[in-house]
Amino acid sequence: MKVDTAKIKKALIIRHRAIGDIILVTPFIRALKKALPDAQVDMVIEPMGIEVLEGNPYLHRALILEKNRLKKAPLSVKMKETFRFYKGLMDAKYDVVFDLWGNLRTALMCFLTGAKYRVGFNFRGRKYFYNTVVFPDVPPKYNVFYHMDLLKAIGIKDDGEKTDFYVPEKDVKFAGDFYSGIGRKPGDKVIGLNGAGSWITKRWPEYRFAELADAIVRAFKNVKIVIVWGPGEKAMADKIYELMTADKKDVFLAPETTLKQLGALQLQMDAFVSNDGAPNHIAVALDVPSVTVFGPTNYKSWVPASNKRHLEVHSALKCAPCDNMECGSGIECMNGIDSKTVFDKMMELLKNTA
């Protein structure tokens, strides 16, 4: 369908969940707003995504999909709130809607807006809810550009791979106070470690992170290591610290943080070593030099290609990547990556960014 972009006054993006995925959608938001500067650009997200998009100048508003909260609500409340949400979508009178998630719920959501242009991928069953259908690329590529193919379908160019994450000044001060509190001096290197992962199969083992931390302590005279953690992840951070055998006087657990505070801590890091997940996507968005360890997920989809500030280590096993959340063979893809390999990659990163 030929699209007259000059007549688009209201646009909606549907990509409602997963913090890292929402970060990877920010170039889409930016490209859309730059192409349609006078249009209102909204986005459907779950509550977890609100903080990610705070401060984003290209987005008009976020429409909150209360999926998890409503699961536990009485049926009458669930029906009332669901009706209110979908009625709000229909009453908004969007001119174009992009379904970046592509499951049955979001495809139906896209259809019910009644938008003149409904853009989505050619997924079985769901494609019938769209009137502008895009065939997705088969080879893995950085997800930023995977999404952008939906924009190209209506004649809008991409705006590059740079992702956006905005850190308020108050959180920059929070980070400054933390680093002052641990005695960081001018000239000290700061290395961040993130051992968490939303799937158990995406987690490089804690003992490997401990080995990496030991190697860092022994390699540098002036260094501070900061182990970050999120909700429900402190035990993981504690375990990395406890398994270390080197001197721990310059090794610290980050305090409990919001996403913005985590970003502020990362801004002062010389390198950030992480599993695949939201923290590494925040690091990339803030252009903090990073190394990401990959097992079941495909690095080509989740890190920018040929960017010497953002490197990766991945398994050479034939079964990887598999995208499985469970593994019957001991998660060999992650357990088999030794700490020296990651340390060497981190040193390469520091050399690239010196």
Domains observed in the chain: 5-152 (3.40.50.2000), 170-352 (3.40.50.2000)
What pTM value is reported for the model?
0.94
Q: Is 38 exposed, middle or buried (0-12, 13-18, 19+ CB in 10 A)?
A: exposed
pLDDT of residue 78: 85
Q: Report how far residue 225's alpha carbon sits from residue 194's, in angstroms, rounded to the nearest whole number.
A: 11
Pairing of strands 117-121, 251-253: unpaired
- How many C-beta atoms lie closer than 10 Å to residue 350's C-beta? 16
Quick check: helix, strand or coil at residue 61? strand
Largest CA distance in the chain: 64
Q: What is the pLDDT along the chain (354 residues), one digit of tens a residue?
A: 678 899 999 999 999 989 999 999 999 999 999 999 999 999 999 999 999 999 999 999 999 998 777 777 888 888 888 889 999 999 999 999 999 999 999 999 999 999 999 999 999 889 999 999 999 887 789 999 999 999 999 999 999 999 999 999 999 999 999 999 999 999 999 999 999 998 999 999 999 999 999 999 999 999 999 999 999 999 999 999 999 999 999 999 999 999 999 999 999 999 999 999 999 999 999 999 999 999 999 999 999 988 999 999 999 898 999 999 999 889 999 999 999 999 999 999 999 998
- Give the pLDDT of residue 138: 75
Nearest to 6 by CA among 35, 27, 30, 41: 35
For residue 328, what pLDDT is reported?
A: 87
DSSP string, 190-201: EEEEE---SSGG
Q: Which residues, in sequence order, are CB contacts of 109 under 8 Å at separation 6+?
A: 14, 44, 86, 89, 99
Residues paired with 275 in a beta bridge: 293
User: What pLDDT shows up at residue 125?
Assistant: 87
At 13, give phi and psi (nearest 5°).
-110, 130
Q: How many residues are there in the chain?
A: 354
d(CA 21, CA 280): 12
- Give me the pLDDT at residue 1, please: 67
Sheet-wide strand order for 61-64: 61-64, 40-45, 10-14, 96-99, 117-121, 132-134
- Rounded distance between C-alpha atoms, residue 117 and residue 154, angstroms: 9
